[in-house]
Amino acid sequence: MSLEIERKFLVSDCSFLRGIEGIECLQGYIPGRTRSAVRVRIKGDRGFLTLKSATSGLTRSEFEYEIPLQDARDMLDLLCEKPFVEKTRYEVDFCGELWEIDVFAGQNEGLVLAEIELRSEDQAVAMPPWLGPEVSHDPRYFNSQLARTPYVQWREQS
């Protein structure tokens, strides 16, 4: 088991992504308990099964396993709720820290989020100029929630 400590922000300006190659991701969630999430993801040509606990502060337990690509496809088709979360993920180094930028498509088109994984909840981080407001504590921006209530259904309200 590992702990995921993560901060999440809206992205206010995507121009910094020009010329950076991203990787296509498709992910779905297996319905079940609301205090945890079971995710199936295809990232490029690799499949993953991830189990995450409920978030406490910025931290949650995470178990992630690579699985055969065809198994991931079958699980998405047979076990996961629709719509899927579609996005392109970009990895960007800023001041020696890795930021993951997700540009969403499909039912979440128009949403761009930046995430950074931390070593501790109180870790100081240099904030890139392209960041917008922090949404770490807003559950609407959790990928599992975007699968249930896509951005297109509520973006005008935010």
Which are the catalytic amino acids? 29
Contact assessment for residue 108 and residue 141, using Cβ atoms and an 8 Å cutoff: no
State the maximum Cα–Cα separation within the chain, in Å, rounded to a whole number. Answer: 42
Buried b or exposed e, range 5-16, using 16+ CB within 10 angstroms: bbbbbbbeeeee
134 three-state secondary structure: strand
What's the rounded Cα separation, in Å, for the pair 148 and 143? 9
Contact assessment for residue 141 and residue 87, using Cβ atoms and an 8 Å cutoff: no
Stretch (H or E) spanning 116: strand 112-117
